[in-house]
Structure 1
Amino acid sequence: MTLQYARLFQLRAGIQLIAESGPMSKEELTEALRQRKTIGADETATEGADDIIEQLRDANLIKNSEEGYQLTSEEGFNDKGVVLTYSGEEVVGAEDQRAQADRILANIMYQHPMLLVLSKFIYRKGPVKDYEVMREFDGDAFIGDKMNQFTIDMGLDLLEDADVIEPTDNGYIQGRWPVRLFAHVIYEEYSDLIGDGGSVREPELFERLETLYGIPRSTFDNYITRLHTAGIVSEGSYKQLILNEDVLEGAKIHE
């Protein structure tokens, strides 16, 4: 499964078209995407639409049925036993376009965890030029997700679309934290800090992330709450945090 040439706004357009029109055949969806003129300079091209549809399907945001392509539902999606991902219907139900983009990216990050290491590298080392990212990761793989020039370039575009990274004259810098990256970093730092008691004190974990990544306290608290809701972390006595590794396996955020 390869990362497709599809920008975040194009993926959102595909989801919105199905939400507005109901199940659509591939031909209908392709034509509707072409008419949106978001694929490229050639308005008769269908290759871009094919990439958009394939990426949405790979990310479990749409599915093919007898009636045509339709949004995945929360009920059917929950049967997959994964966490920190969303159905197509949940994307449409998000409060605004930014929240929709966050949910789309969460699913793509699940299918393509290379996006985790790309963004983490920029968060730790930024500002970083795109050629520096290429030099660091070209030919590597993370959780089986192979990286090359195309997938790295496409990954950087997606991360920029979602404001996860921000371009500057000196290179990419940290933007808005995605929850899956937060979970990945929490796992790494928790594993490094854990003692004999099988837990880590929350203040110590925050101090580590603040030092390494400059994460704001409000962001840390918000995402710890989201991980708690997902069952990934639980609270112990004396401000201890306990990582539920069985649930974490369903997040696909570490090797």
Structure 2
Amino acid sequence: MQISLTGRTALVTGSTQGIGAAVAAGLAAAGARVAVNGRDPERVEKAIARLRDDVPDGDFTAIGADMATEDGAAVAYETVPDVDILINNLGIFGARDALDIDDAEWRRYFEVNVLSAVRLTRMYMPRMLEQDWGRVQYVASESAVAIPAEMIQYGMSKTAMLALGRGFAKRAAGTGVTVNSVLAGPTHTEGVEEFVRGIVGRDLPWDEVQRTFMREYRPQSLLQRLIQPAEIANMIVYLSSDLASATTGAAVRVDGGVIDSILP
């Protein structure tokens, strides 16, 4: 398939590393102008420099702002007021005993992982509806369906994202705007590697750590390995294209078979 996003503008939140950076690279390689986002402006500029190594002719714009806040969202809108493709990738995660999670932590996960995406969708969807074309995606997780015992606060936030994908798709019904969530499986990012080492052990070789984690904590995975960020990005780039015009309101799986069901 030939995917062209030439003439489109995309915003990828939380895109200085990991899945977000891979998505930014994939969208840029397909011809989109891509706004790269992170809280630290200097880190965003360094991320863009790395992205230009991978996509030399890529068109990147920096947004150094915290998308979990109203002020950060306002900076994004001022920088790129016309967004055709909104990828809500920003998210936090961490292992905690469920009974030790206080109210403030529950609120933080909701505000960062869920409310940030609601706010940006509310901000950018009206123009998409006006032009009768747009793509909104929520980078969810297999944890939305298979809630992990070690981080139910994260699972809760990702389950909420599935509701956003379905609900906002209904708001855009009958238009050229599609809204979907992407169920990403366990993915090898810097943050996930740190998380996995924290659970399995920091002094072991990485290959052993990864195998142990998949065997003991994600045994239902059919890949039996962590997914690479580019593998998630491939699906997101496809859903961002005209080729995916009939896919909306869906929870699309790129989970490596972790979810043990035919449907999400």
- Larger RCO (CA within 8 A; separation ≥ 6): 2
**Which has a greater percent of helix?**
1
Indicate the structure (1 or 2) with the bigger Cα radius of gyration. 1
Say whether the fold is shared (TM-score over 0.5).
Answer: no
TM-score, structure 1 length as denominator?
0.30
